[in-house]
Chains A and B, each alone.
Chain A
Amino acid sequence: MSSEQFVQYLIFGIQDGCIYALIGLGFTIIYAVTNIINFAQGEFVMLGGMLSYMLVGGMDVPMLPTVVIALMVALSLGIFFYSLRSRRISKKFAAVAVTFTLGAIPFVLFLFREFARMEIDVAAASILSILMAAAIGAIVYLLAIRTAKRASTVSLIIITIGAALFLRGISGELWGVGGHRTPVYWERPSLEFFGAMVHTQTIFIVGSMVAVTVLLQLFFSYTMMGKSLKACAVNPVGAGLAGINPKMMALVAFALAAAVGAVAGAIMTPKTGMDYERGFVLGLYGFVAAALGGFKSQLGAVIGGLLLGIVMSLVIGLSWGPFTSGYKDVWAMGVLLAILLLRSSRLAEEERIS
């Protein structure tokens, strides 16, 4: 192929890679801190996109799914307050907690419908959707994971699948089955770069990925919360002994992962659109990115994601034999499979420490 085509495919690859990197990042955060494979990660991405779509354009959301959402929020509030109970709980606190919880139902209902009706600028909508996604991540943790207490690994995996199904179904009901798009952040014609066209949104995608990665590195290395999370990831027992509450850390991890996923969703929707089913495949790509990075390393996931995006794009660009665009997903999954099989022969020895 010509050098312009090469650069073009390279740019596509970097753009895709940034998205994969973000999804993989989110997945890695949860896996490192809690050892849970979060199958709902892709849905967080989807939500980032769909929520920003909802906030940008005014729309009337159907009643029933909204009620379900309000119930979930109220339930998780209830569980949260319940977990704060101590031996000598004052009647006043209990009363306040119950009021809050029950009152949350109509409040969230109203709030959600109003949010849906709002029409705000896409950048603000993205930020708001990221925050909402973080809240959803926390809710998923509170309702599904924490209540499962001492569940086995296989149970937890299936629970996250259940959460993913739930989120996907609710999204389908709320926003319909069609695809949606949000306006691009910066309306202007594409830029030229070494003979290839770079869409303005691509700049935001790359920029966001870099920003998020750098921010997370700073967060994990220099803030108390971040360091506590890292401690939990490295040695949960030791962290617990040092006074770090693993449940709180897990909550933060879920919220953070959801937020990071939502960033990916929000920044990709202007360019490629989003529908309620995309979360599944996006999540899969996130797994591949994380797998390339060794499952627990953040920078590894970022590099893995970028590598995945770039290599996939270039190879598809060559369009030679079975390397056509239709097979892109198949090759990505093949990479995941290969990594797992290679790992099993290599790691089997080290894992023998029962």
Chain B
Amino acid sequence: MSEVVLELKGVSRAFGGLLAVDGVDLEIERGRITAIIGPNGAGKTTLFNLITGVYRPTAGDIRFQGKSIGSLSPDARAKRGIVRTFQHVYLFGNMSVLENVMTGVHPRSSYGFLEAALRLPKARREEEEIHLRAMKYLNMVGLGAQAQQNALSLPLGQQKLLAIARALATDPVLILLDEPGAGLNRLEKAELSDLIRRIRELGITVVLVEHDMPLVMGLAEWVIVLDAGKKIAEGPPAEVQKDRKVIAAYLGEEEEGGP
């Protein structure tokens, strides 16, 4: 049963004269782990930005769960269920680890200014629920013990886990991970793979951009390859690995990870 949760049709994004994404058609199936790979400058992060609403496409259509979202702002898309993590993490350094994740619960909670200002019962009730949900996700990534620490006091590997927990707290349908493995050692990458599989088991669709080939090949069920803004191949990892176009695109590129 393959349901398409995200669909891009002829999507392009131009920056002045530069076509960063050029007529890309792709479909993301629900519940699958999809990886988007490609040499540097292929347009992967731009694609993420287009999907999450940071950029508007200069051509083409983006459909999420059947509905067109091309005109929605990033926060509106997050409320619909598309969430992402960033290459540079972007944690909230002025909050604790727990508060970062609690912020993630924001789109699923509702009490507002008035209830907050007067500390009405609704506010206090929801705060407790938010607290519980946040702790749940924090424990899921294994950071429960560090809940009260300042977010930036964590080492990079744990910061990335925190960012993922924060994104999960929004209760998403689709999660986009932008180079989650960058800067992690082998052990941390193994834990990351494990976490991503557990996310998939929750029913959340995962799309990740990664440079680490072994990580991608071991984790992804479907791989999409971009080069110079165009999609040049897609398929199961084993097939894509042998595709001549893909090898040509990477020729001359330093591969991460060993044989």
Contacts and interface: CB of A to CB of B under 8 A. Distances in A.
B20 to A, nearest CB: 11
A138 to B, nearest CB: 36
B56 interface: yes
Nearest to B56: A352
A100 B56 CA distance: 57
Nearest to A349: B56
7 contacts: A349-B56, A352-B54, A352-B55, A352-B56, A353-B15, A353-B55, A354-B54
Interface string B48-87: 0000001110000000000000000000000000000000
Listed from nearest, the 7 A-B pairs whose CB atoms lie closest are A354-B54, A353-B55, A352-B56, A352-B55, A352-B54, A349-B56, A353-B15
A238 to B, nearest CB: 14
Per DSSP, chain B at the interface is loop
Nearest to A354: B54
A349 B55 CA distance: 10
Interface in B99-143: none
Interface in A320-354: 349, 352-354
Contacts of A353: 15, 55
A350 to B, nearest CB: 10
The interface size bin for chain A is under 10
Contacts of A354: 54
A318 to B, nearest CB: 45
A354 to B, nearest CB: 6
A354 B55 CA distance: 8
Contacts of B54: 352, 354
B78 to A, nearest CB: 15
Contacts of B56: 349, 352
A353 B15 CA distance: 10
Contacts of A352: 54-56
Interface string A285-326: 000000000000000000000000000000000000000000
Interface string B14-47: 0100000000000000000000000000000000
A349 B71 CA distance: 11
A352 to B, nearest CB: 7
A201 to B, nearest CB: 47
Contacts of A349: 56
Contacts of B55: 352-353
A352 B71 CA distance: 12
Contacts of B15: 353
A353 B74 CA distance: 12
A354 B88 CA distance: 14
Nearest to B15: A353
A17 B92 CA distance: 48
A352 B53 CA distance: 9
A354 B86 CA distance: 13
A349 B73 CA distance: 11
A53 B22 CA distance: 64
Interface string B126-166: 00000000000000000000000000000000000000000
A354 B54 CA distance: 7
A344 to B, nearest CB: 15
A354 B45 CA distance: 13
Nearest to B49: A354
Nearest to A353: B55
A234 to B, nearest CB: 13
Nearest to B73: A352
B166 to A, nearest CB: 19
A224 to B, nearest CB: 28
A322 to B, nearest CB: 37
A171 B56 CA distance: 51
A353 B18 CA distance: 15
A320 B56 CA distance: 47
B76 to A, nearest CB: 13
A354 B15 CA distance: 13
B14 to A, nearest CB: 12
B16 to A, nearest CB: 11
Interface string B199-212: 00000000000000
A345 to B, nearest CB: 15
A304 B56 CA distance: 33
B57 to A, nearest CB: 12
A353 B16 CA distance: 12
B85 to A, nearest CB: 16
A354 B73 CA distance: 13
A354 B49 CA distance: 10
A65 to B, nearest CB: 42
B200 to A, nearest CB: 29
A353 B54 CA distance: 7
Nearest to B54: A354
B52 to A, nearest CB: 11
A353 to B, nearest CB: 7
A349 B56 CA distance: 9
A305 B35 CA distance: 56
B18 to A, nearest CB: 13
A354 B56 CA distance: 12
